[in-house]
Structure 1
Amino acid sequence: MAERRMLSKSLLMDNKFLTLSNDSKSLYLYLLMFADDDGIVKRSIMIDSVLNATDNNYSELEEKGLIIAISGNDEIRVITNWNGIETIREKLYSPTIYLNVRSRLYLKTDFSYTLNKNDPSVFSSADKWINDGRPKNIKDFKPLIQQHLKEVQYMDGTSTVQVQDMDGTSASPDQNRSDQYRLDQSRTDQDSKDQISQEKINSANMQLSSSNGGIGENASSVDSSTSSKDNNATRESGRDTGLPSGVDRGVSNDTAISKQNINQPYQDEIDSLFNYLNQQSNINISDNDRLANVFSQLVQNGYDIKDIQAGINDILDFANEAPQYQHEKPLTQLLIQHLSTYTRKA
């Protein structure tokens, strides 16, 4: 945790701050000073005793929207507008130790935190934004908001927040986000599937015809049947990445041949890491393509298998404390997003 924090005049002149009682003002300033680099602070006996702070003071800060209380954890508070108050250089930034708390936070377009992932101004989860380098030079939030909506819809299946019209000026009364997402998903999937299928057939026919003296059509039919079975098996075994169509789904079965060629030099290491992951976790993760590519990149970059295993263990330790990661898809997504970082630390 940093030894110094910056305070601006705008903070001290903010109406929410000015209307606080003097005791609550002092408490808020102390919380700012002792928060970690992600704006998360643990309620301290030292702070409470020095300021004679009570539950009423904390409640006043919560009511003003200056801090966020975490249900099920009375000791932890989050500074709502932390990212607007503090600017921490990348070289000095240290992530919070309360990863299970940060995983519940989302970023609004003013870079303040919220627990409500369905808030119409939310553009990213806190974890994803931080993993992307905590960018603040975002000029257009609309694509990020739409991507976040698709992720939420895929994970939850429903939403009570309505979609705006194409011009962005008004809400569509007869169409919610789920309807919009299903329409976009259907169009994207169909166009992509038709194009990829045709390209695969043409390529297979050309290759097989030249190599086996004209029996390409029969072999192509067999390959097509096998590909269909493989796709079904993939869906049944849960090898999806945890993201909806239209959002980066990673490498699919349609590109399994190219994936196999990429990872072939490290296939033994990849298989070993998947086996290790399933031995350490009570959740069985199938041979997920995107995760396999993460393994491959780490091995290719010279990281020792034991370092990667240590990174897996650290993420599993965190996931075991977070109920939302007790399923294959969200746990796989967590590994894809953070394994490289945890391996580097190891």
Structure 2
Amino acid sequence: MADKRMFSLKIVDSDLFLDMPLSSQCLYFHLSMRADDDGFVNNPKKIIKIIGANEDDLKILIAKGFVIVFERGIIVITHWKINNFIRKDRYKPTLYENEVQSLSQTKNGMYIKEVGCHLVDQRLTSGQPSIDKGRLDKVSIDKGREESTPPPNSKKYGEYQNIILTDEQYKALQEKLQSHTDTMIEKLSRYIKSTGKTYQDHYVTILNWYEQDKDKLSQKKTGKIPTFEDYDKGEHL
């Protein structure tokens, strides 16, 4: 396995990447440095502890699409082949063949996870894979059912009771956001109600929005708080 890694400015200089907390950005670099030659990491939790990050940073990377997570806790760097080119005489294939088989690859080298879909074309080719439409429809329906089921011990928050948080997540928000917790919950609640948009993880979305707003929130008396239109212009979960 090579001991040197590269990073593309197309990825790490993007607004989507730079909008993340510095701790999430740092975790991305450390995961990439420790990945195998196909971009897989089998010990993300260990790396999180070593560098003093937390699991929220990993959740942000997953939600933003910078890493893909598998059932066994293994992850892969989504843009690995955009970042890295490894010579054939130094390349060592990953040990995680099952995970490789669940991935396809776009023309520019970005990994895509195909869950439960039948790929007609060979995986990890330079072209887009063909997907059995019937299987895809079934996966979409099942996914919708899963997302509509709130996690255990969760409660509804916000003016419109459309923000789903567990007790642990709400306590974590109070610790991180302090007096701004209810402000950010209400902001997301109104935004979802007014736009009809859905989010996979309300907790991570609130954290992301707070990271973008915290400087302005601290200057609330003299500064302008972002409006819904401001959020439409940016990248969010």
TM-score (norm 1): 0.36
Which of residues 97, 100, 104 is equivalent to 2:98? 100
The aligned residue for residue 88 of structure 1 is: 86
Equivalent position amino acid for 1:109 in 2: K
Give the counterpart letter for 2:66 in structure 1: L
Shift of 1:96: 0.1
**Structure with the bigger percentage of helix:** 1
Deviations 1:253-298 (A, max 9, x none): xxxxxxxxxxxxxxxxxxxxxxxxxxxxxxxxxxxxxxxxxxxxxx
SS in 2 for 1:48: helix
> In the TM superposition, what is the alpha-carbon distance from 1:44 to its structure 2 partner?
4.5
CA contact (8 A) 1:106 1:113 kept: yes
Per-residue CA deviations over 1:75-131 (Å, capped at 9, x if unaligned) read x11101111111112221110011111111111233211112799xx97512xx3xx
Work out which structure has the larger RCO, using CA pairs closer than 8 Å and 6 or more positions apart in sequence.
2
- Partner residue, 2:108: 110
**Equivalent in the alignment of 1:269:** none
Question: Aligned AA for 1:43?
Answer: N
- State the SS of the aligned residue for 1:89: coil
Confirm whether residue 29 of structure 1 aligns to residue 29 of structure 2: yes
Q: Distance in 2 between matches of 1:116 and 1:45?
A: 24
Change (3 A) 1:44 1:78: closer
Aligned pairs (5 A) from 1:158-307: 158-160=135-137
Residue 258 of structure 1 is matched in structure 2 by none
SS at match of 1:125: coil
SS of 1:106's equivalent in the other structure is strand
Alignment CA distance shift 1:160-1:20 (3 Å)? same
Count the aligned residue pairs.
Answer: 137
* Residue of structure 2 equivalent to 1:54: 54
Look up the match of 2:72: 73
Higher gyration radius (CA): 1
Q: Which amino acid aligns with 1:62?
A: I
Runs of 4+ residues over 3 Å off in structure 1 = 8-11, 156-161
In 2, the alpha carbon distance for the partners of 1:33 and 1:123 equals 31
**Equivalent position SS for 1:68:** strand
What are the Cα deviations for residues 312-332 of structure 1, in whole angstroms up to 9, with x where unaligned?
A: xxxxxxxxxxxxxxxxxxxxx
Q: How far, CA to CA, are the matches of 1:69 and 1:55 in structure 2?
A: 13
| Equivalence for 1:316 | none
Q: Which runs of 5+ in 1 are unaligned?
A: 130-135, 162-346
Give the CA deviation at 1:46.
4.5
Q: TM-score, normalised by structure 2?
A: 0.50
> How far does the alpha carbon of each residue in 1:168-220 deviate from its partner, in whole angstroms, 9 at most, with x for none?
xxxxxxxxxxxxxxxxxxxxxxxxxxxxxxxxxxxxxxxxxxxxxxxxxxxxx
Q: Does 1:15 align with 2:47?
A: no
Distance 1:87 1:110 in 2: 13
- Does the Cα contact within 8 Å between 1:23 and 1:51 map onto a contact in 2? no
| Distance across 1 between alignment mates of 2:58 and 2:44 | 12
Residue 15 of structure 1, CA deviation = 1.5
Provide closer, same or farther for how the CA distance between residues 5 and 15 of structure 1 changes in structure 2, counting only shifts above 3 A: same
Partner Cα distance (1:90, 1:157) in 2? 38
Cα 1:34–1:105 change in 2 (3 A) is same
Distance 1:110 1:160 in 2: 26
